[in-house]
């Protein structure tokens, strides 16, 4: 019997563990999907060295004033845009520092535009539109390991001098490997529903992007201990979180923390320095600039973690 219908890509193969899932009860479906999802973290951990290499590249890009640019199609592209969007409120990074690009443009975020993944010219043009340079890192997201849009984008990015990283959940196509300084390969195996890469591959992609962006932000001083000190207190939730962080880092009471954040223009890290070093906003900002944005050399080690009762 001919097997020409079978695809060599892991993300397109059938999963023998879920071949009868259409007959399963709701609880059995939950258990089957959960069992498959449980294997994803180990697959991601298998690429730990490559992820560390990528963090080093991204950190270096940030330090020279460059950007991290995610580019992908479908679910992969949406996850890149999501991660980029979440960096400014979490780390007070300028919106242009981490950029997400999806094949098909903004409309593809809310409406399927799957054919856009085959447009090589659009992938290359996206790099030109962003004026990619040797200061930047471009990270191509291709769950299948063979997305033409992403391959062309990485090729163009390298020609423009950028460092390049690719992330896939199937064996990367030779072209993808050739255009990547770092290859993050996370073989999560066949999906619960054949080819539905919004599932295990999507979960793996989210875990990888969380690690890369957070890791690079930590490396450039956006975190003190494990406190999110570089947030910008704009919403009520973030104002409350910011006040609690200032209180924990400095020992100040709520009123003092609130006033310091107001005096710092909403910048929590600046407020911490103002309280701990008894300086005004200009003085705090000067100290942060002198110490590359890192709090430890300015105010010492963070307080120990106090467990909840």
CA 158 to chain centroid? 21
Q: CB atoms < 10 A from the CB of 208, how many?
A: 24
Confidence grade of residue 238 (pLDDT, cut at 50, 70, 90): confident
Buried b (16+ CB within 10 A) or exposed e, 74-88: bbbbbbbbebbebbb
Structure tokens at 45: 């951990």
Statement: residue 1 has pLDDT above 70: no
175 counts as catalytic: no
Among 12, 56, 86, 175, the active-site one is: 86
Mean per-residue pLDDT over the chain, rounded: 92
Run of H or E including 123 = helix 120-129
Distance CA 97, CA 296 (A): 24
pTM: 0.90
Q: Answer yes or no: 121 catalytic.
A: no
Is the pLDDT at 164 greater than 90, yes or no?
A: yes
Domains in the chain, ordered, with CATH?
A: 41-219 (3.40.50.10490), 236-299 (1.10.8.1080)
> Residues 6 or more apart from 93 whose CB is under 8 A from it?
87, 217, 222
**What's the pLDDT at 50?**
98
Rounded CA separation 61/137 (Å): 6
Q: What is the pLDDT of residues 132-143, one digit of tens each?
A: 999 999 999 999
Q: Which of 117, 191, 243, 248 is catalytic?
A: 117
Between residues 1 and 283, the one the model is more confident about:
283
């Amino acid at each position: 019997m001919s097997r020409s219908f079978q695809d060599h890509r892991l993300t397109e193969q059938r999963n023998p563990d879920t071949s009868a899932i259409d007959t399963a009860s709701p609880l059995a479906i939950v258990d089957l999907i959960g069992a498959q999802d449980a294997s994803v973290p180990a697959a991601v951990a298998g690429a730990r060295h490559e992820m560390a290499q990528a963090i080093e590249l991204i950190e270096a890009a940030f330090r020279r004033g460059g950007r991290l640019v995610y580019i992908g199609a479908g679910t992969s592209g949406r996850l890149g845009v999501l991660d980029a969007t979440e960096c400014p409120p979490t780390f007070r990074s300028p919106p242009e520092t981490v950029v997400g690009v999806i094949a098909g443009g903004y409309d593809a975020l809310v409406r399927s535009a799957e054919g856009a993944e085959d447009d090589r010219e659009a992938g290359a043009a996206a790099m030109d539109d962003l004026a990619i340079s040797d200061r930047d890192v471009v990270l191509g997201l291709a769950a299948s390991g063979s997305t033409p849009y992403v391959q062309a984008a990485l090729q163009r990015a390298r020609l423009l001098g950028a460092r390049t990283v690719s992330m896939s959940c199937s064996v990367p196509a030779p072209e993808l490997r050739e255009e990547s300084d770092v290859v993050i390969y996370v073989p999560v195996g066949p999906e619960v529903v054949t080819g539905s890469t919004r599932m295990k591959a999507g979960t793996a992609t989210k875990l990888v992007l969380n690690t890369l962006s957070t890791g690079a932000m930590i490396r450039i001083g956006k975190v003190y201990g494990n406190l999110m000190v570089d947030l910008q207190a704009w919403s009520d939730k973030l104002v409350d979180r910011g006040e609690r962080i200032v209180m924990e880092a400095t020992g100040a009471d709520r009123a003092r923390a609130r006033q310091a954040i107001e005096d710092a223009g909403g910048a929590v890290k600046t407020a911490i320095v103002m309280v701990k070093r008894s300086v005004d906003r200009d003085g705090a900002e000067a100290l942060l600039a002198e110490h590359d944005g890192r709090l430890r050399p300015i105010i010492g080690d963070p307080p120990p973690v106090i467990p909840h009762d």
